[in-house]
Amino acid sequence: MLSLTTKRWTASSLRLTARGLTGTARSQLAHPAPQKDFDPIPAPAQTPDLPPFHFGAPPSSDQHEPPEFNYKDPAYKPIVYKDYSTGPSALDKAAKLFFLTEIARGMWVVLGQMFRPPYTIM
């Protein structure tokens, strides 16, 4: 007969478990990264010949309304699928593709036999 034993949690084993979770050394705790005097990521290169790009209306206009945008939503076009019910079935297409690959494999074998080095009898 099998007997099941239960582990007894004593006060010392509970202290060891708690100490393992909270007893992290001070050197292993998170600390802030050192401050650097330079930026490791360079600024993007800019072309000096181009004028700066500004959003909104030019400063000389007296408009109090928001600027108009040239973007318009494209016209809705429903997705039209090709009608496959009138053509060959998927099995017919797969059979033709399999036959084509077998023809190509047979040609590869024949060409390999034609261009192999000849046997010589001494």
* pLDDT beyond 80 at 21: no
To the question of pTM greater than 0.75 for the whole model, the response is no
pLDDT digits (tens, 9 = 90+) for 24-52: 676 676 777 767 666 666 666 666 665 66
Measured between alpha carbons, how far is residue 72 from residues 34, 53, 66, 76 in Å? 50, 22, 16, 12
Domain ranges for the chain: 89-115
